[in-house]
Amino acid sequence: MSLLPTISIIIPAHNQERYIGRCLRSVLNQTYARDNYEIIVIDDASSDRTDYALELFESEIVLIRNQEQLGLPGSLNKGIRKARGRYVIRLDADDYVHAEYLNVLSMHLDLNSQFDAVACDYLLVDDQEDVLQQKNCMDDPIGCGIMFRIDHLIDIGLYDEVFLSREEEDLRIRFEKKYSIERVALPLYRYRRHDNNMTNDEERMNDFAKNLSEKHNGDT
């Protein structure tokens, strides 16, 4: 048994009682050796029954409970700082992954020391988990599901907690100024599209896009 896990999976959750169980079951159903990865869940002051859903997995996860809501980037940073693995992944609580996900992505980093991070293609699914579309992770990037070398994330300063949305775009811009993200052309990630997605709120997303453009001088 490894003294330290190779991979740390960071799962922020705020009011995700409906989905968090599905997410965690997919992570626990990996072909990758269980003692080689840890699962860190940050409950960001949920007001629903997320805490009850997490009790079912308490022996399998490292649970951080925020007494006050920090927001997504603050919760992610808290989880990353707790991580012990040399590779780190953000997994959104309403998404889930294929059983070979950890095995395939970690193998690409293990065998290619020049790779700084790897992302896989993904399936866009609805609330019933019907597949809507297959997406190329480079043509239509998402913030979750990328496996980073943790020292590179620390080097660029983690997530900017000013960005309560589009935080993943800001991180990616800063990351790719110094490092690169390689593509794995297999759809191993399941990205859930539903009415509560922040990305469906066009007005708010436009505001965050403006802030992002101003920070990076239009380089978005």
User: Is the pLDDT at 25 greater than 60, yes or no?
Assistant: yes
DSSP single-letter state for residue 200: G
pLDDT value at residue 23 = 98
Mean pLDDT to the nearest integer, 123-139: 96
User: Is the pLDDT at 211 greater than 60, yes or no?
Assistant: no
pLDDT in tens, 48-65: 999 999 999 999 999 999
pLDDT value at residue 213 = 56
CA-based torsion, 69, 92, 80, 146: positive or negative: negative
Count the Cβ atoms, other than its own, within 10 Å of residue 40. Answer: 22
In the three-class reduction of DSSP (H, G, I as helix; E, B as strand; rest coil), residue 15 is classed as: coil
Q: Residue 49 to residues 13, 21, 23, 88, 141: CA-CA distances in angstroms? A: 11, 12, 15, 27, 31
Residue 36, Cβ density class (10 Å: 0-12 exposed, 13-18 middle, ≥19 buried): middle
Most distant CA atoms of the chain, gap in Å: 49
CA 140 to chain centre: 15
pLDDT value at residue 111 = 97
Q: Which amino acid is at 169?
A: E
Structure tokens at 130: 């019907």
What's the rounded Cα separation, in Å, for the pair 63 and 20? 13
Band of the pLDDT at 3, cuts 50, 70, 90? confident
Mean pLDDT to the nearest integer, 111-122: 98
Structure tokens at 37: 């990865």
Indicate the range of 13-22, 138-147, 187-196 predicted with least confidence.
Answer: 187-196
User: Is the pLDDT at 214 greater than 80, yes or no?
Assistant: no
50 neighbors 83 (Cβ within 8 angstroms): no
In the three-class reduction of DSSP (H, G, I as helix; E, B as strand; rest coil), residue 86 is classed as: coil
Domains and CATH numbers, the chain: 7-118+141-185 (3.90.550.10)
pLDDT in tens, 162-210: 888 889 999 999 999 999 999 999 999 999 997 655 555 555 555 555 5
Q: Residue 133 to residues 87, 159, 169, 185, 212: CA-CA distances in angstroms? A: 28, 29, 22, 15, 27
pLDDT in tens, 68-115: 999 999 999 999 999 999 999 999 999 999 999 999 999 999 999 999
Band of the pLDDT at 17, cuts 50, 70, 90? very high
Count the Cβ atoms, other than its own, within 10 Å of residue 177. Answer: 10
- Beta-bridge partners for 183: 119
pLDDT value at residue 1 = 44
Structure tokens at 75: 């919760």
